[in-house]
Chain A
Amino acid sequence: MKEKVFLGIDVGSVSTNIVLVNENKEIIEKLYLRTMGNPIKVLKEGLNNIREQYADDIQIMGVGTTGSGRTLASFMVGGDVVKNEITSHAVASSTYVPDVKTILEIGGQDSKIIILRNHVVCDFAMNTVCAAGTGSFLDRQAARLGVPIEAFGDLALKSQTPVRIAGRCAVFAESDMIHKQQLGYSQEDIINGLCEALVRNYLNNVGKGKEILSPVVFQGGVAANKGIKKAFERALGCEVYVPEHYNVMGALGAAILAQREAQRKHQTNFLGFDIADIDFQVKGFECQHCPNACEVVGIYKDDLLAARWGDKCGRWTNINLESPVA
């Protein structure tokens, strides 16, 4: 008897996460892969990996996709649910931490705050005009300092002297940081200053006007950073809880949503693990038919057009029309 499982896929800017959960919402496998700007390749590798390990023992009952690459991923694997990151994160968090009231989520390119009351999302915010203080920024600074990103948090905890770094904008934060280095501050102090700047920026921009009540859950890739967790605790004056699977919560949420969907319609669109062998290509063009000049994107499965989107008028969404890029 094959085990019934649900597949959750979160294609983000920095990481592509794939999880397998069973019917009791327990994680069987989780993959945290670097997207490296190539979601198609990474997703195929991930699926191949799962096929090799589990293909004989499991039966996929439903697939959910989320993250900024959710539409693409859904077309590739045959998704049952395509959900935005905010809902997915909220679903995952409230499943594993039932009474959560505030979720702080910091990923590669975006940061969000989700406020839940009575187990329902009642408010949320996402960074709008700037991505300073997200994972990519920390990544970059770690590389600049020659510190592996994994060691970043531990170093921050060793800091003795507080250093205030301007956190409004990633570029200015970097130049301020360089200035502080020239003044002679230690690396630990500077890293700690960066963590504090990130938290300050987050609370003043994304979290502005929101009522942050405990229990507070901190998730997303950046939650691995103990320095940031500590800085949040200092700023909020309460304990911040980092769940066990903090870095794949989006994929988890997608898998849980897929399970709900499967219960509703008793079938799945999943195209099977063989898609790992299919050649996918995405080609885009700018439609010159009207001043909208939409960027139309088509996905090709072994040279066959499988889907097309991006046009405002619906002209190209109909894939039977001949495509100018084939």
Chain B
Amino acid sequence: MKITFPHMGTTFIPIKMILDELNIEVILPPKSNKRALELGVKCSPEAICVPFKIITGNILEGIEKGADTVFMLTGCGPCRFGIFHALQREIIHDMGHDVEFLTADRFSNYEGLREFSQRLKEASPQNSYIKIIRTIKKGLKVLDEVDTLYELTNKLRPRELNKGEVDYIWAQFENDIRTSYGYKEVMHVIKKYHLQLKEIEVDYKKPCLKVAIVGEIYTILENYINLNIERKLGNMGIEAIRTTSASEFVREQLDFIPFMRSQKKKIYKAASKYLDIPIGGHAINSIGNIMRAVKNDYDGVIHLLPFTCMPEIVVQSILPTIEKEQNIPIMTLVLDEMTGEGGYITRLEAFVDLIQKRREMKNEGKSFSWY
């Protein structure tokens, strides 16, 4: 069995590690790129969101490289994501590819976890359940470590003395991690680059404006789709803080387990003034995270969503009220395969000008009100 799976930011690292450890052959598709998107757009429904399109492209590129099985998460609930696997199976079979789909529900209860381990057991009968559970745990650890490393780059980038150093090291890291095999090697690579990043010369005293990135999770995590928003902001001297990460997402799913802690309750509570029932996707998280950004005196919020994403459209309609009542600038960026980079940069630059001006006024002690 040669297994492939779609990308979502850095999540390929723990997934590949788990499959490697269980001796399942992995075909890692090339990281999300123009070609994957084109392949996906060609065979996807027109009005579906861009995550679906590029994920399909990833899978097709994996199949091209020789995969015969596709691993996808499913789940009834969060958004259209729940039906991705079924649609993709139809599409890919119609295209004449003879591939198997290995699916597992999100792990929102013990049943889901059990199903996930069962799937892995089916894929690698030689492994015991104990080994599988241990490997999943290791996977969670890797996920955490990678996210920590990534968040460090966002902290360092606006403060580095030699421009471009962080980006360079991160590119090296991505290259190295793709070819490393198994838990030990992966952890070693992560550690190595963690040390390298720590050695970069930075100006810790430099005051940086802080912008929270909220919105739909795929567009936040997948840098190809959000056109490297964190890197762009970082290189303009702004600290971009993404409010959600893959590890946090998994923790939210797993927090029925006694020792798992997630921010879910706090976020829901923060959001309750504007939205107090889950309406799917990350709608509540977006609102809650904006409210937390307000509380922590962030300078602005950038809201990302893929075109036609329903939960986030609801959020978008709540934003003007929050903007007004909480006195924080919020900019929404809608992303899809038509997104042109030029106009996108213009908006980002204008937004940065806006929050810089606001900060100057605040520091000068002038009362700043929108009215």
The segment from A80-88, A132-140, A142-150 found at the interface with B is A80-88
**Does A85 lie within 8 Å of B33, measured CB to CB?**
no
Docked CA distance A211–B228 (Å): 31
The one of B30, B329, B334 that contacts A122, using a Cβ cutoff of 8 Å: B329
Docked CA distance A68–B317 (Å): 29
Of residues 72 through 130 on chain A, the ones whose CB sits less than 8 Å from some CB of chain B are 83-87, 110, 117-118, 120-124, 126, 128-129
- Chain A residues, Cβ within 8 Å of B343: 68, 110, 126
**Does B338 lie within 8 Å of A129, measured CB to CB?**
yes
Docked CA distance A85–B323 (Å): 23
Docked CA distance A126–B343 (Å): 9
The one of A124, A128, A210, A314 that contacts B168, using a Cβ cutoff of 8 Å: A314
**Does B34 lie within 8 Å of A124, measured CB to CB?**
no
**Does B350 lie within 8 Å of A123, measured CB to CB?**
no
- Measured between C-beta atoms, what is the minimum distance from B370 to chain A in Å? 5
**Does A86 lie within 8 Å of B346, measured CB to CB?**
yes
**Does B353 lie within 8 Å of A87, measured CB to CB?**
yes
Interface string of A206-236 (1 = CB under 8 A from B): 0001110000000000000000000000000
Assuming the A-B contacts A84-B349, A129-B307, A293-B34, are A123 and B164 also in contact, with contact meaning beta carbons closer than 8 angstroms in the complex?
Answer: no
The one of B319, B324, B350, B369 that contacts A87, using a Cβ cutoff of 8 Å: B350
Of residues 325 through 371 on chain B, the ones whose CB sits less than 8 Å from some CB of chain A are 329, 333-334, 336, 338, 342-343, 345-347, 349-351, 353-354, 357-358, 361, 368-371
- Chain B residues, Cβ within 8 Å of A121: 350, 353-354, 357
A291 at interface by CB-CB < 8 Å: yes
**Does B346 lie within 8 Å of A117, measured CB to CB?**
no
- Chain B residues, Cβ within 8 Å of A129: 307, 334, 336, 338
What number of residue pairs across chains A and B have CB atoms under 8 A from each other? 81
B277 at interface by CB-CB < 8 Å: no
Interface string of A178-192 (1 = CB under 8 A from B): 000000000000000
Assuming the A-B contacts A87-B350, A314-B164, A314-B168, are A123 and B342 also in contact, with contact meaning beta carbons closer than 8 angstroms in the complex?
Answer: no
**Does B353 lie within 8 Å of A118, measured CB to CB?**
no
Count the B residues whose beta carbon is within 8 Å of the partner chain — how many? 41
**Does A122 lie within 8 Å of B350, measured CB to CB?**
no
Which single residue of chain B is at the shortest CB-CB distance from A87? Answer: B353
Interface string of B291-329 (1 = CB under 8 A from A): 000000000000000010000000001011001100001
- Measured between C-beta atoms, what is the minimum distance from B40 to chain A in Å? 14
Docked CA distance A256–B92 (Å): 57
The one of B31, B35, B319, B370 that contacts A117, using a Cβ cutoff of 8 Å: B370
The one of B31, B336, B354, B370 that contacts A291, using a Cβ cutoff of 8 Å: B31
Count the A residues whose beta carbon is within 8 Å of the partner chain — how many? 27
Docked CA distance A117–B346 (Å): 21
B47 at interface by CB-CB < 8 Å: no
A53 at interface by CB-CB < 8 Å: no
- Chain B residues, Cβ within 8 Å of A314: 164, 167-168
- Chain B residues, Cβ within 8 Å of A128: 333-334
Assuming the A-B contacts A117-B371, A292-B33, are A123 and B346 also in contact, with contact meaning beta carbons closer than 8 angstroms in the complex?
Answer: no
A313 at interface by CB-CB < 8 Å: yes
Interface string of A305-325 (1 = CB under 8 A from B): 000000011100000000000
**Does B334 lie within 8 Å of A123, measured CB to CB?**
no
- Chain B residues, Cβ within 8 Å of A84: 345-347, 349-350, 353
- Measured between C-beta atoms, what is the minimum distance from B230 to chain A in Å? 13
- Measured between C-beta atoms, what is the minimum distance from B123 to chain A in Å? 26
- Chain A residues, Cβ within 8 Å of B371: 117
B95 at interface by CB-CB < 8 Å: no
**Does A124 lie within 8 Å of B167, measured CB to CB?**
no
- Measured between C-beta atoms, what is the minimum distance from B46 to chain A in Å? 13
**Does A118 lie within 8 Å of B369, measured CB to CB?**
yes
**Which of B35, B307, B357 has the most chain A CB within a 10 Å cutoff?**
B357
Which single residue of chain A is at the shortest CB-CB distance from B61? Answer: A291
- Measured between C-beta atoms, what is the minimum distance from A294 to chain B in Å? 9
- Measured between C-beta atoms, what is the minimum distance from B290 to chain A in Å? 15
- Measured between C-beta atoms, what is the minimum distance from B348 to chain A in Å? 8
Which single residue of chain B is at the shortest CB-CB distance from A292? Answer: B33
- Chain B residues, Cβ within 8 Å of A87: 349-350, 353
Of residues 227 through 257 on chain A, the ones whose CB sits less than 8 Å from some CB of chain B are none
Of residues 174 through 191 on chain B, the ones whose CB sits less than 8 Å from some CB of chain A are none
Docked CA distance A87–B353 (Å): 7
The one of A68, A120, A210, A313 that contacts B346, using a Cβ cutoff of 8 Å: A68
Which single residue of chain B is at the shortest CB-CB distance from A210? Answer: B320
**Which of A86, A122, A126, A312 has the most chain B CB within a 10 Å cutoff?**
A122
B171 at interface by CB-CB < 8 Å: yes
- Chain A residues, Cβ within 8 Å of B347: 84, 86, 126
- Chain B residues, Cβ within 8 Å of A126: 343, 346-347, 350
Interface string of B82-116 (1 = CB under 8 A from A): 00000000000000000000000000000000000
Docked CA distance A211–B325 (Å): 13
Docked CA distance A209–B332 (Å): 12
Docked CA distance A84–B329 (Å): 18
- Measured between C-beta atoms, what is the minimum distance from B108 to chain A in Å? 33
Assuming the A-B contacts A129-B338, A314-B167, are A122 and B354 also in contact, with contact meaning beta carbons closer than 8 angstroms in the complex?
Answer: yes
Which single residue of chain B is at the shortest CB-CB distance from A120? Answer: B357
- Chain B residues, Cβ within 8 Å of A124: 350-351, 354
Other A-B pairs beyond A83-B353, A122-B354, A126-B343, 8, CB < 8 Å: A84-B350, A86-B346, A117-B369, A121-B353, A124-B354, A209-B319, A291-B30, A292-B33
5 closest A-B pairs by CB = A209-B320, A86-B350, A291-B33, A291-B30, A84-B349
7 contacts between A and B (CB under 8 A): A83-B353, A84-B350, A87-B353, A118-B368, A291-B31, A313-B171, A314-B164
